[in-house]
Structure 1
Amino acid sequence: MVERSRPQDWTPEWWCPAVPGGFVQVADEAKEELVHLVHQELEDRQIACNSHGYSTASGDLVRDWVPTSIGGEEHARLIGAFREKNRVTFEVLGTGEPNNDQIDFWYQVINAALQRLGTREEYVWHAVISEDPPHLGMLGKRLEAQAHISGLDLKPYHGPVVEDVRSSMLGFGAVPSMFIHWPVQVSGRTTCYDWLSEGEWRTTLWLSRITALLSLWWDSPWSARIGPRIGIEPDQEKDYIFGHRWRPYKVPEPEETLGQRVSVPVGLNHAEALLTKERRLFEAISIHKEGLSLQREHPSLALVSFIAAIEAVAQIDRRAEKCPGCECGKFKGCGLTIGSSDRFKKAVRSVLSESETSSIEDYYGGAGRSGTVHRGKLHGIDAHALHSGAMSYLTENTSLRFSIVTVSTVRKASRLLLLQKLSMLKDPEASQD
């Protein structure tokens, strides 16, 4: 019998295999789909059913299906165990005398679900992505023209919008300011067995790859504003998309003179395909995007993010070494990663000038990243509530220099290394296309 450990006020008086042999062959990656299809079969039969997933004491993954009632009487329950590789064990459990009709009912449900396994449906979805406030500037980037790339349609979403952002001004301290930017509508198609169970999260991951790549190429943070949604055009939810934060911006001058015009890079197809295969590369570009989002108000954490991206790329090119112990073999290695600083410096030197490299090398250790990660030290304007810090003709403003120069230089190294890795780099000095 399948082990049952979830607390409940019900004890079966009989149980038997739900299918011949007691189990069905199902690939591990299709087990979630099978669970969904069992639910779907019950729904199609208009059977109300409670279902719970849990782990047993032995570590098995179990799910039960408990019909509330069928024909006014208690119905036998189904339980499935999913731990075994490429197979699922099903049993029927009940009270009173075994009921062959109820046993056959569950066999029919499971068999019908297996028949539908592998069936796919295409869903058309829409989303709106937008630029988050970058570390400098109050005007965002404007997609020049509609583009179809990597299976997606991207087009400007109406005109510019404006939102309030926090800033600081000498003599006034913290002040509200505004950021003007141009949202982009993204539309695509996803093939899956069910939108809520599979399609939505897969599409969200797809959208994450696209926004991470656009953030890298356009050198500013972009993220999903709304969606992905199926069956609803963004225009139908315009008020919801705008919410209370966005307002349409009434352009006082020709719109063509506002914002920085950008286009979707031709290499996005190749780069996006590469990210689907290389998990570590996707993680590196994702943490770089986090750094872009953080730099405006949290430069110390942005530095940590950019250095993490550099380290990730460096470890793809050169595998991280582990402590081997002493040469005589008397002491075994501790297993700690060694040579991280050397890998970081070598990676940075490959894309930056000598002067740029020397200006940031010290920020890998205790003076920068390590100080923030291990001791909570803040180095920039984040230590002064976004204020630029003490202004003096006699001493250098280190916090302002850190926030504007140091973090931007590390960001540049991270960006160039990632563009190289993605084969998207054209002009090493260009920050835009």
Structure 2
Amino acid sequence: MFPLPDGFTWLVPLNDGAPLDLDRRKNGDEWIHLVFRRLRATGFQMSGHAAFPGGHIYRPSGTEHRTALWVLFPTGQGPICLVLGDGDPSEVAVEPWRDAVTHAIGQIGAVTDFAWWTIIGCDPNTPDVVALRLSEPTEVAGLRLVPALELFYENVPGRFNIFQSNDRHTGLVKVTGSSMGYNSNVAHEEAARRIRLLCSLLSVAFGMPWIQRSSVNPLTRFNGHGDTEPMNVDDIHIPAISPWDRDDEVPPDTEALTQSVEIPRWIGRRWETITRDKRMVDALLNHHEGQLMMAHHPSHAALAFVTTVEALGNRKVKKLPRCRECRVVTGSGDRFRDALARVIPAQEADALGRKFYNWRSRTAHDGVLHGTEPAFGAWAFWSGISENTARDFERELYSLAAAAQRLLLSEASGEELRPT
């Protein structure tokens, strides 16, 4: 039938060698997970098969099975499955695979609810010196947010200087929730998307970038018998000092500038509306990327802010106008400036819009960096007399960032803001 892969002496096709009734592009990962769960395997090893007819070879882990599953992918059809083995073929070796492959197809779409926790807080790499601190526990869109009892201290290494670091105190927040998935990895990925959206919304609300400070973890723990059991938010310990810092070098948090904040009510009220609007979610994430890049990658931060404003401006147009001859979208610059004029004076919007649309185009099309990136972020000597284009660009960038944040705040909250 086919040349056997190395290390095997026999193969047996499943489903009479016909493709399975399975949309592999949509459900392939779920199906193979269910196959090995049916086999009670702890996991699998996958290797590609370079020779014709290609495909992947899967070997189970943590079981007594010494056979493997060869999965082929004919164009436009479901996968073809063949059992591979060494020695003498037997039905005893093949039957578990036949059962698992068939059973897995019937289980596609079944999901489990996985409880999880993570930690969020303001990005310590931003130059802001005020530590935002959530005032009290709160619920937002099915997520439970509980502030840490103490400010978290860490020494953040200098971006371009191993001999320099910045003291940072931040108010961390424990977040718990649950997500659906056919396994914990899928559920945790969905959880991470919700956390990223939450951080993007908090970043818009407070004007400072929030980030996830730990991985998404199962809300379970091992008991004395080695079994897992549920845990609650009080069992999650956040240290007051980074494990990489020495206790005797930590300044007291009384020296840190702090600001107590509450989660804006509009985030919970508008959550479902926002999550159903893919273009809004894209704009929020793009703006968040700009905030995170601003300190060290200002030119690409500008690109992110421009595309955010442009995307929000395009939302007001049902059908984007195009050139009749080349079909290129037209009027983008005008819509960008009009969007800015919703939150800043029209004359300022026009001037800022023309500058940044030009800077954005030079970066996007010619790879030009306008800020201090070519000098590793170093500020050149400046007395206020000579021209300093990098300094001028980064000063204007703060104006664009503030305008983009206000515009996104208006769109996300559903509240119109007056130009200021």
TM over 0.5: yes
Residue 250 of structure 1 is aligned with which of 252, 255, 268? Answer: 252
Instruction: Verify the 8 A CA contact 2:118 2:174 in the aligned structure 1.
Output: yes
Deviation at 1:135, TM superposition (A): 5.5
Whether 2:64 is the aligned partner of 1:65: answer no
> Match for residue 171 of structure 1?
none
Structure 1 stretches of 5 or more lacking a match?
Answer: 169-173, 326-332
Instruction: Verify the 8 A CA contact 1:161 1:246 in the aligned structure 2.
Output: no
Deviation at 1:8, TM superposition (A): 3.5
Whether 2:188 is the aligned partner of 1:200: answer yes
Deviation at 1:118, TM superposition (A): 3.8
Query: 1:34-433 alignment to 2 at 5 Å?
Result: 34-43=31-40, 50-52=45-47, 62-66=55-59, 75=67, 77-81=68-72, 87-93=78-84, 99-114=90-105, 116-133=107-124, 136-165=127-156, 176-196=165-185, 198-230=186-218, 231=220, 238=238, 242-244=242-244, 250-252=252-254, 258-318=257-317, 319-325=319-325, 333=326, 336-366=328-358, 368-382=359-373, 386=377, 389-392=380-383, 394=385, 399-404=390-395, 406-425=396-415, 427-428=417-418
Cα deviations by residue, 1:358-406 (Å, 9 ceiling, x for unpaired): 331232344x2233334444434546655554443545765444323x1
| 3-state secondary structure, aligned to 2:40 | helix
Deviation at 1:234, TM superposition (A): 8.7
Q: Take 2:87 and 2:385, find their aligned partners in 1: how far apart are those partners?
A: 91
Instruction: Verify the 8 A CA contact 1:133 1:296 in the aligned structure 2.
Output: no
Instruction: Verify the 8 A CA contact 1:203 1:228 in the aligned structure 2.
Output: yes
Deviation at 1:244, TM superposition (A): 1.9
Q: Take 1:101 and 1:81, find their aligned partners in 2: how far apart are those partners?
A: 23
Q: Take 2:112 and 2:357, find their aligned partners in 1: how far apart are those partners?
A: 52
| 3-state secondary structure, aligned to 1:220 | coil
| 3-state secondary structure, aligned to 1:242 | coil
Cα deviations by residue, 1:137-158 (Å, 9 ceiling, x for unpaired): 3112221221101110112122
Instruction: Verify the 8 A CA contact 1:147 1:154 in the aligned structure 2.
Output: yes
Q: Take 1:246 and 1:265, find their aligned partners in 2: how far apart are those partners?
A: 36
Cα deviations by residue, 1:322-348 (Å, 9 ceiling, x for unpaired): 5432xxxxxxx2x54443322322222
Deviation at 1:21, TM superposition (A): 8.3
Instruction: Verify the 8 A CA contact 2:110 2:182 in the aligned structure 1.
Output: yes
Letter aligned with residue 38 of structure 2: E
Cα deviations by residue, 1:190-213 (Å, 9 ceiling, x for unpaired): 2222113x1222211221111111
Q: Take 1:176 and 1:66, find their aligned partners in 2: how far apart are those partners?
A: 48
Structure 1 range deviating more: 232-241 or 352-361: 232-241
Q: Take 2:47 and 2:171, find their aligned partners in 1: how far apart are those partners?
A: 45
> Match for residue 230 of structure 2?
none
TM-score, structure 1 length as denominator?
A: 0.76
CA 1:13–1:134 in 2, change beyond 3 Å: closer, same or farther? closer
Residue 21 of structure 2 is aligned with which of 25, 30, 35? Answer: 25
Letter aligned with residue 193 of structure 2: L
Letter aligned with residue 345 of structure 1: R
Structure 2 stretches of 5 or more lacking a match?
Answer: 222-232
CA 1:179–1:358 in 2, change beyond 3 Å: closer, same or farther? farther
Deviation at 1:355, TM superposition (A): 3.5
Identity of aligned residues (%): 22
| 3-state secondary structure, aligned to 1:217 | helix
| 3-state secondary structure, aligned to 1:259 | strand
Instruction: Verify the 8 A CA contact 2:343 2:419 in the aligned structure 1.
Output: no
CA 1:357–1:159 in 2, change beyond 3 Å: closer, same or farther? same
Q: Take 2:128 and 2:88, find their aligned partners in 1: how far apart are those partners?
A: 76
Letter aligned with residue 244 of structure 1: W
Instruction: Verify the 8 A CA contact 1:161 1:249 in the aligned structure 2.
Output: no
CA 1:69–1:31 in 2, change beyond 3 Å: closer, same or farther? closer
CA-based RMSD of the aligned residues comes to 4.0
Structure 1 range deviating more: 353-362 or 142-151: 353-362
CA 1:227–1:373 in 2, change beyond 3 Å: closer, same or farther? same
Letter aligned with residue 347 of structure 2: S
Instruction: Verify the 8 A CA contact 1:51 1:63 in the aligned structure 2.
Output: yes
Q: Take 1:291 and 1:206, find their aligned partners in 2: how far apart are those partners?
A: 19
Instruction: Verify the 8 A CA contact 2:10 2:86 in the aligned structure 1.
Output: yes
Q: Take 1:92 and 1:394, find their aligned partners in 2: how far apart are those partners?
A: 77
Instruction: Verify the 8 A CA contact 1:167 1:175 in the aligned structure 2.
Output: yes
Q: Take 2:8 and 2:206, find their aligned partners in 1: how far apart are those partners?
A: 61
| 3-state secondary structure, aligned to 2:244 | coil
Instruction: Verify the 8 A CA contact 2:69 2:84 in the aligned structure 1.
Output: yes
| 3-state secondary structure, aligned to 2:71 | strand
